[in-house]
């Protein structure tokens, strides 16, 4: 490990295991449309090119199976109010996605959510022991047009930075703002989404864990109607690789 920097990729996976397909009430065509709208397609390539797999925390399944970015309990998760807690029961149009089933929900969380979080916590503890610091780059993309989890009039900057008052020091926020602005991009702070991922047992407990969410507006790198890469993909990939290098230097400073 050349730097205590970890890449969190909670929404890059498109995997829906065969034994999970029967959970959904919608057709395969509608399920595919929900995946295109909700999954952060290509973020593993955009943010992770050349980065060690051991320092990349990638969710094993689609967020439509389990969303590892959410709080485990719906009582703590604001997005549960629109049916998009750790296990979604509603889709992007408010339609029923699956029937609420507490027993099935617990099976999914134990199978996919809990192991992911344990791995993140263990890696963070190791980084703190070796380096005295851990930095998380929470990697996302977002579509044009609001999702149910954001307000309808939310700004749509080209790059959105999500922060946490406890885990995102001003120096980290300002470093990111300057980097993207210097590259000619419109930057929003806590717009269109706020917050950032911190491994659960360290959240609001360990100030040596720093975290920043970066949201890339999807029209910069893909055709949102088809899910295909566009000509600007490589440029955005290079931009994000450069930012990751800046963040790695910050992590060891």
Tell me the per-residue pLDDT of 67-118, one tens digit each, with 9 for 90 and over: 999 999 999 999 999 999 999 999 999 999 999 999 999 999 999 999 999 9
Pair 195, 213: CB distance under 8 Å: yes
Please give the C-alpha separations between residue 195 and each of 138, 189, 233, in angstroms, as whole numbers.
Answer: 10, 10, 26
pLDDT number for residue 43: 98
Tell me the per-residue pLDDT of 134-178, one tens digit each, with 9 for 90 and over: 999 999 999 998 888 877 788 899 999 999 999 999 999 999 999
pLDDT number for residue 154: 82
Average pLDDT over residues 51-76: 97
pLDDT number for residue 2: 83
pLDDT number for residue 152: 79
**Average pLDDT of the residues of the chain:** 96
Query: Which residues are paired to 140 by β-bridges?
Result: 215
pLDDT number for residue 89: 98
**CATH superfamily membership of 5-252:** Zn-dependent exopeptidases (3.40.630.40)
Q: Can you give the pTM of this predicted structure?
A: 0.96
Average pLDDT over residues 189-202: 96
Closest CA to 25 of 70, 75, 64: 64
For the chain, percent of residues with pLDDT exceeding 70:
100
pLDDT number for residue 62: 98
- Structural domain spans, the chain: 5-252
DSSP label at residue 38: H
Pair 197, 138: CB distance under 8 Å: yes
């Amino acid at each position: 490990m050349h730097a205590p920097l970890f890449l969190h990729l909670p929404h890059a996976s498109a995997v829906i295991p065969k034994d999970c397909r029967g959970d959904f009430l919608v057709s395969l065509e509608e399920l595919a449309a929900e995946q295109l709208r909700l999954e952060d397609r290509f973020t593993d390539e955009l943010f992770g090119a050349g980065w060690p797999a051991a320092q990349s925390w990638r969710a094993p399944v689609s967020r439509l199976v389990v969303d590892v970015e959410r709080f485990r309990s719906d009582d703590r998760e604001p997005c549960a109010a629109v049916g998009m807690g750790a296990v979604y029961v509603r889709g992007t149009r408010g339609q029923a996605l699956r029937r609420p089933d507490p027993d099935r929900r617990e099976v999914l969380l134990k199978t996919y959510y809990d192991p992911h979080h344990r791995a993140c916590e263990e890696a963070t503890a190791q980084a703190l022991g070796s380096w005295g610091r851990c930095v998380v780059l929470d990697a996302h993309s977002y579509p044009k047009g609001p999702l149910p989890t954001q307000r309808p009039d939310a700004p749509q900057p080209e790059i959105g930075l999500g922060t946490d008052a406890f885990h995102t020091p001003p120096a980290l926020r300002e470093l990111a703002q300057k980097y993207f602005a210097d590259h000619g991009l419109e930057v929003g702070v806590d717009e269109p989404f706020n917050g950032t991922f911190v491994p659960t047992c360290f959240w609001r407990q360990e100030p040596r864990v720093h975290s920043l969410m970066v949201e890339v507006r999807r029209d910069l790198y893909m055709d949102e109607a088809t899910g295909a890469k566009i000509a600007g993909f490589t440029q955005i990939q290079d931009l994000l690789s450069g930012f990751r290098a800046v963040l790695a230097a910050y992590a060891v400073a």
